[in-house]
């Protein structure tokens, strides 16, 4: 009997070590992206009645390795959407995710948003250019524009 209990104890001890080892090696959940910039429809409309070709300029500061989110007003019911952003600069910023969020109300024509999540892989600066366009051939291009200067330090 004593040997049977000892065998059960050893088996439980090994099983506990195995389960504990698996839990210790589980990868942590990545941190949620930090919201660094939101540009509303009112901000675009305020810029020369919303009909200028000059981009809005914004600056953000992030930490290398950080994921960050930029949210821009969007209204799919108009046929416009944000093109894939153009990224330039030595900070090694990359697009990680792009989501379209419909209007919070069910009112026809109500604007929603488009959110872009980026990751800054290294220190430095980068520029992200956004253009709000009608994507089809002959559609209006760059009706709204945003240039975001990213300082990763």
- As a three-state string, the secondary structure of 127-140 is EEEEEEECCCCCCC
Question: Mean pLDDT across the stretch 11-19?
Answer: 45
pLDDT band, residue 21 (cuts 50/70/90) = very low
Domain residue ranges of the chain, discontinuous segments joined by +: 34-152
At the top level of CATH, the class of 34-152 is: mainly beta
Between 146 and 103, name the one with better pLDDT.
146
Predicted confidence (pLDDT) per residue in 82-136, tens digit? 999 999 987 789 999 999 998 888 888 889 999 999 999 999 999 999 999 998 8
How far is the C-alpha of 2 from the C-alpha of 66, rounded, in Å? Answer: 57
Which pTM value belongs to this model?
0.77
């Amino acid at each position: 009997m004593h040997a049977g209990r000892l065998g059960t104890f050893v088996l439980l001890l090994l099983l506990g070590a195995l389960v504990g080892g698996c839990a210790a090696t589980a990868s942590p959940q990545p941190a949620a992206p930090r919201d660094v910039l939101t540009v509303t429809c009112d901000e675009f409309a305020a810029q020369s009645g919303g009909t200028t070709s000059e981009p809005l300029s914004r600056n953000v500061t992030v930490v290398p390795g950080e994921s960050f989110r930029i949210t821009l007003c969007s209204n799919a019911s108009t046929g416009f959407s944000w093109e894939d952003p153009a990224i330039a600069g030595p900070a090694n910023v990359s697009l990680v995710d792009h989501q379209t969020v419909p209007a919070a109300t069910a009112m026809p024509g109500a604007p929603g948003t488009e959110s872009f999540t980026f990751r800054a892989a290294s220190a430095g600066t980068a520029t992200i250019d956004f253009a709000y366009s009608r994507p089809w051939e002959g559609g209006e291009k760059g009706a709204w524009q945003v240039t975001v200067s990213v300082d990763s330090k």
